[in-house]
Chains A and B, each alone.
Chain A
Amino acid sequence: MTDDELLTPRTGTSNEALRQAILSQSSRSIRWRHRQRQAARAAVCGLCFVFGAATVWLRPAPQSEVITIFVEAPVAEEGKPPVANAPGSPVEKRRLSPSELELEAEKTLVKADSARLFREAGDLYVNDRADYQSALRCYRNFLDEAAPTELNVTPEDTWLLTSLKRAREQETSP
């Protein structure tokens, strides 16, 4: 046989069955590989989610700051409900200025209350403001309104009230 005979391709029919078999086999391979890739992607996404969730679950909870507020409630008298800052209550009176207390004392018709308020106003004038003229005026009214037992000198009296009580005692003694 010559070179040309050996090297010239023969015209023959194509193997159609083989052609179809290879096509279906290769297509299946592509499909399978695509599904594998999708599954791998889904697995990676799932793992990321699980790790993220685990991070949140395993992280120690932040220390909650506890703020304790102590509220001093007014002590209720026995048998009476506590009334916060009711007008005329001791808390309310404590907040009043000495001049307001003096005014309250002027308006009060009950003698004992009037005396007590004059005395408190006098104490505030002496201790808080060093207003001795006003304190003197309040103490004089207190001595006029006070019961005889309250005219005795007590340790709670201010120096001005003590001297006024002694002067009054000397005036009234025979």
Chain B
Amino acid sequence: MTEHEWRERGLRDAVLAGDERAWRLWYEQEYAPLEAYVLWRCGNGRDLADDVLQETWMTAVRLVRRFRPESGTFRYWLRGIAANVLRNHLRSRQRKDRRERPMNGDLATEDKALVDCERSERIARSLASLSDRYEQVLRLKYLEGLSVVEIGTVSGETESTIESLLTRARAAFREAYGDDGR
């Protein structure tokens, strides 16, 4: 067991024992990375990201007993929760949009804020529809800003494999986004 695993196990046990300081430490350490991830997954849509962030943290507090440091880091665990929460949000928004679109569909296209909001949601839907492998390589490239060589080192793949993977991931994203680049 690595030092990081021991540390996260200790934090988890402290939180389960009701230690608020341990929770604050953990929260402060992981809030910014999770916020960046959620914003990226939400296509930089602030409103959706805020909802997802709040629900993700409250779910994490409720389920912290289930967190296993030996299975992955807390950050990775939080991202898993956030991805599921986002998926649920997008599903419920889709149902809501279907009901409301006939009434105000034309007005929404004229409003820039609404256009941005819609674009963010489309990005979020597109990312949510990708496989984990495609999502991972796009995240490493765009969110974490790694080069192709660094991604290859992290994931244990060759440079050409990563290039090919990135190309296919972008294509899948574009297909899901349904836009020709304009």
Contact = CB atoms under 8 A, between A and B. Distances in A.
Interface of A: 1-4, 6-10, 12, 14-15, 18-19, 21-23, 25-27, 29-31, 33-35, 37
Interface in B31-66: 31-32, 35-36, 39-40, 43-44, 46, 50, 53-54, 57-58, 60-62
B94 to A, nearest CB: 19
A35 B173 CA distance: 47
Nearest to A25: B58
Interface string B3-42: 0000000000001011010011001000110011001100
Interface of B: 15, 17-18, 20, 23-24, 27, 31-32, 35-36, 39-40, 43-44, 46, 50, 53-54, 57-58, 60-62, 119, 123, 138, 141-143, 170, 173-174, 177, 179, 181-182
Contact of B24 (A18, A27, A33): A27
B166 to A, nearest CB: 10
Contact of A22 (B57, B142, B177): B57
Contacts of B142: 4, 7-9
A9 to B, nearest CB: 5
Contact of B61 (A2, A14, A26, A37): A26
Contact of B50 (A8, A9, A12, A18): A18
21 contacts: A2-B181, A3-B170, A3-B174, A4-B142, A7-B40, A7-B123, A7-B142, A9-B44, A9-B142, A12-B39, A12-B44, A14-B32, A18-B53, A22-B54, A22-B58, A23-B24, A30-B18, A33-B18, A34-B17, A34-B18, A35-B18
